[in-house]
Structure formats: C-alpha cells, structure tokens
Amino acid sequence: MLKSLKIENYTLIKECNISFPTGFSVITGETGAGKTILLGALSLVLGQRADTSVLMDKEKKCIVEAVFLLENDDLQPLFLDNDIDYDKETIFRREILPSGKSRCFVNDTPVQLSIVKQFANNLVDIHSQSSTINLKDRGFQLAFVDNFLPEVNAVNDYRRVYYDYKNLGKEIEELKQQEILFNRDKSYNEFLFEELAKANLKEDEQQTLEQQVEFMSNVQEIKDNINSSIFLFDNDNGNNLLGNLISVKNLLQNISSYDNKLQEIYSRIDSVLIEMKDVFSDLNSFNDNISFDKTLLDECNERLDLIYSLQKKHGVSSIKELIEIKEDLDKKLQMTSDISSVLDKKQKEKDKYIKQLYSLSDELHSKRIASAKEIESKVLPLLSQMAMKDAVLKIEVIKGEELTENGLDEVRFLFNANKTKNDSLSDMSKVISGGELSRLMLALKAVVAERFAMATMLFDEIDTGISGDIASKTADIMKSIADNHQVIVITHLVQVAAKAKTHFKVYKQTIQEQTYSNIKVLDKEERLQEIAQMISGDKITKEALANAKTLLND
C-alpha cells in the first residue's frame, strides 16, 4: 500500500508531505485547486515521462518521493534481478533537474524508468479521467479480457511465437530482395569472374613483368655500359684496372716484410684483386648472355596491358586487390546458387510457425470466451447494485482470419442499459451514457480488485456523470473494494466523500502574489464543514449542515 507521498517544486505544489492510511480515502477540493496534480505527481514517481514544464521554480529541481509498504514478498525477485536492496518499506524517488535530466531511484539505487514501471504495474492501479473513455477502445477491451485468462502467460507465449514469426518473415523478404539483386547482376558477375579467372593472375607477377620490360627496353644501353666497364678492367693500352692493381700488388709485395702495416695493406690489395677478377668474370659472363628478345618483350607488354586494363576497370592498383575481387565474385555467385535452397528452408520454417500460431490462437480464443463469461457474471450484479438492474453486458469474442500480435480475435463490449422487447445489444461506444460508462468502469475495477492482489487503487473522478442515490450506491462499491485494498478516490460527490474513512482536502492559497496548492487531512469538524460546503456551495446553510451530519452518520 501507499504509505506516504512527498512532493517538492511540482507545478503548483511548493512542498507537501502526505501520509495515506489503509482503507477508503477521498480527496476533494474546488475545481482547479490541484487535486489532479497529486495524481500527476504519483504517476511521475512511478515512471511517467516528464520535462522541465513541471518545475514550479525553474531554477530548482523537482523531487517526488513515494513510500510503499510491501505486504508480501512477490516482488522480491524483481529487486534481486535489478540488484536493488529489498525492504518491506520501499522508497521510490524521482528527480527532474532544471537541465531537463531525469533520475529515478528505488531504495536509493539509481534505476532505469522501465524498471520503475515494472514495480508500478504490481503496486498501484491508477485510474485517470481518460481511463473511462479508454473503455470504449477495442484494444482496451481485449486487454481487459486477457487480464482474466486462466493462464497468465498465455498471451505472452503466443506473442513470443508471433514475433519470431514476424522476424522470420522479414528475413525471408530480405532474402527475396537479395535474390532479385543477385539474379539481376548474375550474368555480369559471371562475366567479371570468368575474365579474372582466365587472366590467371599471380600476386607478384606485375613487378617481375615491369622489371623485364624495363630491362629489354634498355638492353643496348646496358650492353654499351658493360662493354665500357670490361674495357676499363682489361685493355691492350696498358692503362687498365686489373693491370694497375697487379702492379700495385707486386710493388707492395717487395716491401711488405719491412713493416706489419705494409703487410696488412698488401693483404688487402690481394683480396681486392681477387674480388675484382671475380667481378670482371661476372661482367663478361653477363655480357655474353645479354640478348634482345622482341617476342618476349611483346608478350610482357601484352600481359601488363591486360593487368593495367583490369586494374582500371575495377578501380584498384594491385594484383592482390584483383584476386580479392575475384574471390568476392565467386562468393556472390555461390550465394546466388544457394539462396533458393535457403529461401525454401526458411519458408518451410515459416509454415511451421503459422501452423503453431493458428493452434495457439485457437486455444486463446477458447480461453478468452471463458474469460469474457467470467467478467460478465461478475460485472452484472455490481451494475444491478448501482441501479442498473436491467443492464446487459455481452463481451463478444470474434475470431478473424488474419494473424495479429493478439491472435485471431477481436473483442467487442456490447451493452444495453434498459430492458427492451427484443433485448437487442449494440456496440457499447454507441449506446452508453457518461454516467453508465462510469458505473461500468467502476464495476470492472471492482472485478479487477477481486481477482488481483493490487494493494492500492487510485480513482480520479471515476464517478463522473453520477448523482443522487446512484452516487451513494457507487460509493458503497468503492467502500467494499476498500475492505481488501487501499482505495484513494478524487471526487466531487458528497455521497462518495461521506463514506470514506479518511478525507483529504486540496486547496489553494496565495502568498506574496504566488499561488500554491496544498493538501491536508480533515478532522471531524473540518470534514463536516467540507461536506456541507460541497452540498450548498460557499454559503453553508443549516440544512446543508444537517444533511452533512446525516451523510456522515450513515
């Protein structure tokens, strides 16, 4: 149950701290006094989105703190899963900073907004003024019926399969698009692949070919320079490299015995001479083997032209990249041949999903019919108790043909508030009045309270459009709900206010040209005055006081 609500800097509330008792409580006050602000603050701390527009003072942060007493340990796994300290007295806090940043805490542990909502769904049922209108919505009607299914997870089990089925459908569509693209490009890709495969490219051949072409294109210059080098090594005019080195060697040999340094120099000259003779021999050998092969040059140039043409065509600069393109084309062509078999496999898998979904939706249909009958049986006595003894509610579960996330079913609430000759029923949204809609919603909420262990139920003017004796009977329903639940009702009806165990009043006050909303719990005398004022208006009459006393003593 909700133990307390602390609010700071939220719309018209500067600061307030409210303690809520068990049982049936009402909140009253003039229109515009700020009753719904309390509902907004509670919704905020329980996960509703908000921005800086809720800040009363734009320079300060807004803080809303709600304390809940957990009456059982059902939520303990949720605490454990999110690494939050478990406490029977759990504190939810929400902060909206002037920067617009929002922070949520559960027992001082920072948490995501989605986690707060999971807690909220198990702690409090908030009925806002728009909720009654939602009763006319087909989606709301279906969700309400699903809440009463015998197996709680029946819908979720179906939806898990359905979402897998939809995701598989997306995969199939993507594969079909790929198949279209692959088939469209298949011929061209085959041509490119065969062209590259026929080229039989080797990763290092370009460099080798370019070196061969460069050599053969300059063979005459190479030969001339080698011949000139050979002539300098050895010629008949006596001025040659080898002859001079031999002379130097002989001269040093004559004097090498006189000094160790001379001996070292002589040895080095001897080594150089040996090396130069080897070089001279290699030059002669290389020169003898040089020949110009025009056929080979043409072949190399032709091969290079092919390589350069392929590189330009594919926008690359190396044979390695061309080989990678060939391998990628090979993969694409392989995928083109494989995609049909993949699609066939996926389609068979989809057919299995469809069969499973139709089976699950049939089971859901039967369970929803049973759920609808249970709701009808429980709601009609409550409507009768609220002066609608002739009312008939029929919840129609219609099976369609197209699979949706909800199965095959569509739910319609058919209604007739009055006895007629043919007892005809019409779509509720077309025949129900505002007051009848409010009573029906209250009856449904009472059924929810009976079925589920929701500790706190908050109603914001669920009694709209109701008056007189019907209002008193409506209050009796709320009071009966409060026997097992904490019920907090925002109301304008004296009949409802008078039957509550605790009475809060929301009021406005102006301090230094600033208007604030405040709330207080009324004592016995204040409550008498408030009820009398609700009866007669600003000027409280003796008759109003007498009526108020009567109502409070009932």
pLDDT per position as a tens digit, 37-86? 888 899 999 988 888 888 999 999 999 999 999 887 888 889 999 999 99
Adjacent-strand bridge partners of 7: 16, 64
Provide CB contacts within 8 A for 354, sequence distance 6+: 165, 403
Provide CB contacts within 8 A for 65, sequence distance 6+: 5, 6, 7, 45, 91, 92, 93, 94
Last residue of a domain, one of 337, 363, 378: 337
pLDDT, residue 129, reads 66
pLDDT tens for 501-542 read 999 999 888 888 888 888 999 999 999 999 999 988 878 888
In a domain, 488, yes or no: yes
- Specify whether 183 is located in the same domain as 331: yes
Please give the residue range of the domain that contains residue 67.
1-132+451-522
In a domain, 92, yes or no: yes
Q: What are phi and psi of 522, to 5 degrees?
A: -90, 140
Average pLDDT in the chain: 88
In a domain, 376, yes or no: no
> Per residue in 138-162, is it b (16+ CB within 10 Å) or e — as a string?
eeebbebbbbbbeeeebbeebbeeb
- Specify whether 192 is located in the same domain as 102: no
In a domain, 313, yes or no: yes
In a domain, 435, yes or no: no
User: What percentage of the chain carries pLDDT values higher than 90?
Assistant: 41
The answer to whether 458 and 39 have CB atoms below 8 angstroms apart is yes
pLDDT, residue 358, reads 94
- Specify whether 213 is located in the same domain as 111: no
Last residue of a domain, one of 316, 337, 358: 337
Adjacent-strand bridge partners of 487: 24, 457
- Give the DSSP letter string of 204-259: THHHHHHHHHHHHHTHHHHHHHHHHHHHHHS-TTS--HHHHHHHHHHHHHHHGGG-
pLDDT, residue 9, reads 93
- Counting the structural domains of the chain, the total is 2
Which of 263-267, 328-332, 408-412 is least confident?
Answer: 328-332
Placement of tokens 């085959």 in the chain: 190
CATH code for the domain of 470: 3.40.50.300
Asked whether the predicted pLDDT for residue 439 surpasses 90, the reply is no
* pLDDT confidence bin for 421, thresholds 50/70/90: low
* pLDDT confidence bin for 454, thresholds 50/70/90: low
Adjacent-strand bridge partners of 91: 67
Residue 55 DSSP one-character state: B
pLDDT, residue 188, reads 82
- Specify whether 205 is located in the same domain as 122: no
- Specify whether 81 is located in the same domain as 188: no
Q: What are phi and psi of 517, to 5 degrees?
A: -105, 140
The answer to whether 93 and 46 have CB atoms below 8 angstroms apart is no
pLDDT tens for 306-349 read 999 999 999 999 999 999 999 888 887 777 667 888 888 999 99
In a domain, 270, yes or no: yes
The answer to whether 533 and 540 have CB atoms below 8 angstroms apart is yes
In a domain, 446, yes or no: no
- Specify whether 125 is located in the same domain as 186: no
The answer to whether 90 and 131 have CB atoms below 8 angstroms apart is no
Q: Choose the most confident range, by mean pLDDT, from 25-39, 426-440, 482-496.
A: 482-496
Residue, of 341 and 13, whose pLDDT is higher: 13
0.85 exceeded by pTM: no
Which amino acid, one-letter code, is at 33? Answer: A
- Specify whether 198 is located in the same domain as 328: yes
The tokens describing 391, both together, are 């009312």
In a domain, 410, yes or no: no
- Specify whether 121 is located in the same domain as 185: no
The answer to whether 410 and 398 have CB atoms below 8 angstroms apart is yes
- Specify whether 233 is located in the same domain as 324: yes
Rg for the chain (alpha carbons), in Å?
47
Which of 232-236, 262-266, 299-303, 325-329 is least confident?
Answer: 232-236
pLDDT tens for 177-214 read 888 877 777 778 878 888 998 999 998 899 989 888 98
- Specify whether 122 is located in the same domain as 190: no
pLDDT, residue 132, reads 67
Beta-carbon count within 10 A of 462 CB? 25
- Specify whether 252 is located in the same domain as 122: no
Please give the average per-residue pLDDT across 474-501, as a whole number.
Answer: 90
pLDDT, residue 420, reads 63
- Specify whether 120 is located in the same domain as 190: no
